[in-house]
Amino acid sequence: MSFSVRVDKNVDVPMGDGVVLRADVYRPAQEGTFPVLVQRTPYNKEMWLVVAPTLDPVRAAAAGFVVVIQDVRARWASEGEVFFPYRDEEPDCADTIAWAAAQPWSAGVVGCYGLSYMGGNTWLGAASGHPSLRAISPTTAPNSFYQNNFWRDGVMQLATVISWALRLIGPAALIRSGKQLPELGARLAELADALDGFDALVREQPLNALSAGHKEDEAFIPFLYELMKHPVPDEWTDSILFNDRHESVKVPALIIAGWYDMLLGADLQHYRGMRERGGTELARENTRMIIGPWSHAMFLNMVGQVDFGFRSSGLFMDLKEDLTTLQLRWFKRWLCDEETGIDQDARVKVFVQGVNRWQDEDDWPPERMRLTPWYLGADGRFGSALPSADEKPDSYVYDPQDPCPTCGGTLLMPPQYTPGPVDQAPVMGRRDVLVYTSAPLEQDLKLMGPVRARLFASTSAPDTDWVIKLCEVGADGKTMNVCDGVVRASYQCARSGQTFTPGEVVEWQLDMLATAIVIGAGLRLRVLVSSSDFPRYDRNPNTGEPAAEASTTVSALQRVYHNERYPSQIILPVV
């Protein structure tokens, strides 16, 4: 049955502390009670590209759901003083779920959904344990405020922080700040100039001068300055988001992720957390995960410089359904108790690159996966054979004033930076990038699961970064990135309790997230090693100072070892 749809604009939703948040409510035009879907966004509920990238609220209302899309506290039509990412979301999520369950058009059952920030709100809503919440569908959603949103293994995701704050948060904050028009216009013009000159902006020093706002403007992205005070995770960063509380989630989750999404690591953490520690057997056994070849908020078949084929598109996924239809099947099963078949589908569905086909799995990572080390070697070799005892290290100089530029990857950056798989030719000829290449493969090599690196290396500096990319060399000779990792030396030391002195050989551990790909016979694998990926990540000044405070930099001599004693390696998930 298909319903006519009505939309109620700016409906008041009172919070427990008296602040009124406002929502647009999409619902069937006829009288009755219906299951409710809730999305809470900081990006303006009026913007269609924000509210409907994976679930169309009009189609959902026509299918018999009420969809509540709410501006979060201190954003757009909602009341509140100052927006701070996730700080107020958990109680507001709980209050909104309770409100949605109690409305006269509500059947008393609620589902939460959303992409990225809204996906984070979905997990926080689930953590409330409200009895009316029956299922969630978070898409590319963060878990840890520190590790997933703005840092990665100790390195600030600089371009994400700056562009997110200035493009998506700052303008609205200035508009609602109460400034008079001439002053407001000057501030907005300054902000626009900063965004237009993004590359120059992020090259300024020190980092804490990059906001293009003013510290005296309390209404303008104050969190940007606060973020820079926490170069390692602490009680403050742990308190803000969901942070592995899967035992508090009592309902099943449909997790939608992308191989080239910056939040892939969080989605994988969410899946394992639900499978192992979900708060009920229903949640543990019925959580599902889908991983496409997508980048952040982009669900088409063309990702980066690779066309993954029509089957990969979220508009007609696996030639069966789009993402809206998929999620409506999910919510009909758990909110309406309809037999839609989704709980009979495979627990995990992943898109396998190289053969460009979807594959069903009973779990992730697959049990038949074998973690297999491939080693860096002399003369740029990369393969399964152990290096010999007498191989000499390779070296390069990392100069923070001339960092290796960003070239593809799990990016959330301004549009001049292409996310996803991108030809690495622009960076491979640099003197601060080491290249290791395998022989042509004698047979297909299938990789499905987590990828990590053990890099035995030394630096002449008291602190530095290491960046590693795993790539495929195609038949056309192009080197396309598959996955990557980064780690800041001081971060690893803080987490492990170890210390090192300049020049000492240390085993550096890099989490390169995960992949599912077939490298065809005759093709080659390639590994790139460097110490920067800018402006995706902030530059380590190599001085031992926090990057946000450093006003000077020094160059560092980096040595990468590959011998019997120090076998630098990439650990591949071979199926």
Is the peptide bond prior to 535 cis by the omega test (within 30 degrees of 0)?
Answer: yes
Amino acid at 445: L
DSSP 494: H
Kind and range of the H or E element at 256?
Answer: strand 254-260
Q: Give 196's contacts (C-beta < 8 A, 6+ positions apart).
A: none
Coil, strand or helix at 416: coil
Give the catalytic positions in this structure.
Answer: 116, 261, 296
Q: At what angle do helices 117-127 and 89-102 cross, to 10 degrees?
A: 70
Count CB neighbours of 29 within 10 A.
Answer: 11
Burial (Cβ within 10 Å: 0-12, 13-18, ≥19) of residue 10: middle
Contact (Cβ atoms closer than 8 angstroms) between residue 29 and residue 58:
no
Residues recorded for the chain: 575
Residue pair 329/374 in contact (Cβ under 8 Å)? The answer is no
What are residue 529's DSSP bridge partners?
A: 434, 468
The CA distance from 528 to 437, in Å, is: 9
CA distances from 83 to 165, 218, 231, 506 (A): 11, 10, 22, 42
Three-state secondary structure call for residue 528: strand
The single-letter code of the amino acid at 306 is V
Beta-carbon count within 10 A of 471 CB: 24
Nearest to 107 by CA among 337, 335, 338: 335
What is the DSSP secondary structure assignment for residue 150, as one 8-state letter? I
Neighbour count for residue 333 (Cβ, 10 Å): 21
Buried b (16+ CB within 10 A) or exposed e, 356-372: bebbebeebbbeebeee
Q: Give the start-end residues of each E strand in 127-190.
A: 133-139, 151-152, 155-156
**Largest separation between any pair of C-alpha atoms in the chain:** 80
User: Are 83 and 74 within 8 A, CB to CB?
Assistant: yes
Query: Taken in order 214, 220, 221, 226, is the CA torsion positive or negative?
Result: positive
Q: State how far the Cα of 536 lies from the Cα of 545, in Å rounded to an integer.
A: 20
